[in-house]
């Protein structure tokens, strides 16, 4: 009994750790996204390389929350617009897009001081998930890598 107790504690700890990672990876985060218009190049990630932009034109620049010192470059995120009761019409319904991070909000050409956004989305990306007739250029989003 005395010998098996540390082993049990170790197993229990491993169980807790795996539980943490399970929940950590399967739930998405909530943040804000702003609209950013061209020019998009050169970016903080890939400079003027034209092949950095996916043909879907679904891309974004990362804010400080997800930039990770540049490690965010090339990451793909699933992004969805979410409404609140005070802003019921800001989203196009049921649209989830996959965007690629190509730049940094704090660096040219995205240099952006007005918004505390999680990311700024390309015209195409923003227009796909946000209701353009509300004229809003700032939305709440749910996102996951
Ligand atoms: C978009 O916004 C307009 C009002 O600005 C609203 O009438 C319309 O229902 C909205 N569309 C969606 C999908 O919420
Ligand atoms: C969105 O998805 C829900 C549930 O899947 C569905 O009931 C609803 O009709 C969809 N709305 C649109 C506008 O596609």
Domains of the chain, earliest start first = 27-144 (2.40.40.10)
Residues 14-51 as b or e (16 or more Cβ within 10 Å = b) = eeeeeeeeeeeeeeeeebbbbbbeeebbebbbbeeeee
Residue 1 has pLDDT above 60, yes or no: no
15-64, pLDDT tens digit by residue?
A: 776 666 655 555 789 999 999 889 999 999 999 999 999 999 999 999 99
- Ligand 1 pocket (Cβ < 6 Å) reads 89, 92-93, 131, 133-134
What is the residue with the minimal CA distance to atom 9 of ligand 1?
89
How many A from CA of 141 to the centre of ligand 1? 17
How close is the Cα of 67 to the center of ligand 2, in Å?
Answer: 33
Ligand nearest to the CA of 91: 1
Is the beta carbon of 92 within 6 A of some atom in ligand 2? no
Rounded distance between C-alpha atoms, residue 17 and residue 58, angstroms: 35
Closest residue CA from atom 13 of ligand 2: 93
Cα distance between residue 68 and residue 8, in whole Å: 37
Give the pLDDT band (50/70/90) at residue 6. Answer: confident
pLDDT reported for residue 24? 53
Strands (E) located in 36-94: 59-62, 76-82
Q: Which ligand is nearest to the CA of 81?
A: 1
* pTM for this entry: 0.78
Atom of ligand 1 nearest to the CA of 134: 5
pLDDT in tens, 50-62: 999 999 999 999 9
Mean local confidence (pLDDT), 9-14: 77
Q: Which of 83, 94, 95 to mutate to test the pocket of ligand 2 (most atoms within 8 A of CB)?
A: 94
With a cut of 70, say whether residue 114 has pLDDT above it: no
pLDDT at position 9: 78
């Amino acid at each position: 009994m005395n010998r098996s107790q540390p082993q049990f504690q170790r197993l229990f700890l491993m169980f807790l750790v795996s539980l943490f990672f399970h929940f950590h990876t399967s739930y998405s985060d909530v943040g804000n996204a702003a609209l950013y218009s061209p020019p998009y190049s050169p970016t903080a990630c890939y400079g003027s390389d034209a092949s950095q932009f996916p043909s879907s034109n679904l891309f974004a620049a990362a804010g400080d929350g997800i930039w990770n010192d540049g490690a965010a470059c090339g990451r793909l995120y699933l992004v969805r617009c979410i409404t609140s009761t005070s802003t019921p019409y800001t989203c196009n319904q049921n649209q989830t897009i996959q965007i690629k991070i190509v730049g940094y909000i704090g660096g040219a050409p995205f240099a952006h001081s007005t918004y505390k956004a999680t990311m700024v989305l390309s015209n195409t990306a923003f227009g796909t998930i946000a209701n353009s007739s509300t004229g809003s250029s700032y939305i709440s989003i749910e996102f996951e890598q």
